[in-house]
Amino acid sequence: MTRFIPLLFVFLWSTGFVGAKFGLPYAEPYTFLCVRMILTCAILLPFVLILKKRWPKNIALSAHVAFSGFLIHVGYLGGVFTAIAMGMPAGLVALIAGLQPLLTAIAAYPVLGERIRTKQWIGLVLGIFGVVMVLSEKLTLNASDLFAGFDAAAVGFAFGAVVMITASSLYQKKYCTEMPLMSGTFIQYAAAAILYTILAFSLETMQVQWTGEFLFALFWLIFVPSFGAISLLMWMIKQGEASKVASMFYLVPAVTAVEAFLLFDETLGLIAIAGMGVVSLAVWLTVKA
């Protein structure tokens, strides 16, 4: 059964882009994420206490866990939500996020000492090519229209998000392998909630339109990506090499494209469908090697 965990993770993680698209029209990004993190902590803490889950064994480990939470929940999510809020298409954000496995593979050797085999490099390159194929229909090759609807700052936030989640994966593997899953996850969300509260009060109006769509997006993001996907990600990082875990992210843009087709009636052409096959092959090569 454990071999299906990466596939389940891909599906749960991909819905985060859809949830952001649903909810961001009704709240500013840091305010949205502030509410999400606070509610996530409020739901998770009783389970930690009732089930008497153990906490990190010392302050040093707790600090490492909190910092890894900053990297993934503030650096990555904050960058993704801000880029989408600034008008960048969710598909383009997903495409840029698809570069994360290559960055992880490049950094895994000097940081963790993980050697990347030739087949894995082939898989990583194929993965980028497949991601571009899947989302090519969402992009324009006309340079004058490439940034229509958003500016360079949005691109910067999207690329910053990729760097942050790469750093989080490597940091988690290097310093947090002894992290108790449930209590450690709570510490990560609590650290993110504190920082998002400061950012929202400092930079935003804190106004929220409590519509049905916003509430649906909010609770979907809490229970599906926040609880489900993040827990699976932490488990996979703890069990496997960082570069292999990162290869799973290549599937996210393809799955996001399918979800966008089903939910928003976005057409999938033959090139996009072929790209999904290339992405699947890339993941197989990287993990199998």
CA distances for 120 relative to 59, 137, 242, angstroms: 37, 27, 12
Beta-sheet strands, E only, within the chain:
none
What percent of the chain lies above the pLDDT cut of 70? Answer: 86
Per the domain annotation, does 130 fall within a domain? Answer: no
41 against 124, higher pLDDT? 41
For residue 78 the two structure tokens come to: 């904050």
Whether the Cβ atoms of residue 111 and residue 253 lie closer than 8 Å to each other: no
Per the domain annotation, does 64 fall within a domain? Answer: yes
Per the domain annotation, does 128 fall within a domain? Answer: no
Whether the Cβ atoms of residue 133 and residue 86 lie closer than 8 Å to each other: no
Q: pLDDT of 95-147, one tens digit each?
A: 777 777 777 777 777 766 667 777 777 877 887 787 777 767 665 555 555 55
From CA 49, how far away is CA 25, in angstroms rounded?
35
From CA 272, how far away is CA 11, in angstroms rounded?
18
- Count the domains in the chain: 1
Per the domain annotation, does 57 fall within a domain? Answer: yes
Per the domain annotation, does 65 fall within a domain? Answer: yes
Q: Which of 41-55, 114-128, 163-177, 240-254 is least confident? A: 240-254
Q: pLDDT of 223-278, one tens digit each?
A: 998 888 877 877 777 776 566 666 677 778 778 778 877 877 766 678 777 877 88
**235: containing domain:** 2-120+151-246
For residue 185 the two structure tokens come to: 């996850």
Per the domain annotation, does 182 fall within a domain? Answer: yes
For residue 11 the two structure tokens come to: 């599906």
Per the domain annotation, does 43 fall within a domain? Answer: yes
Per the domain annotation, does 275 fall within a domain? Answer: no
From CA 216, how far away is CA 208, in angstroms rounded?
14
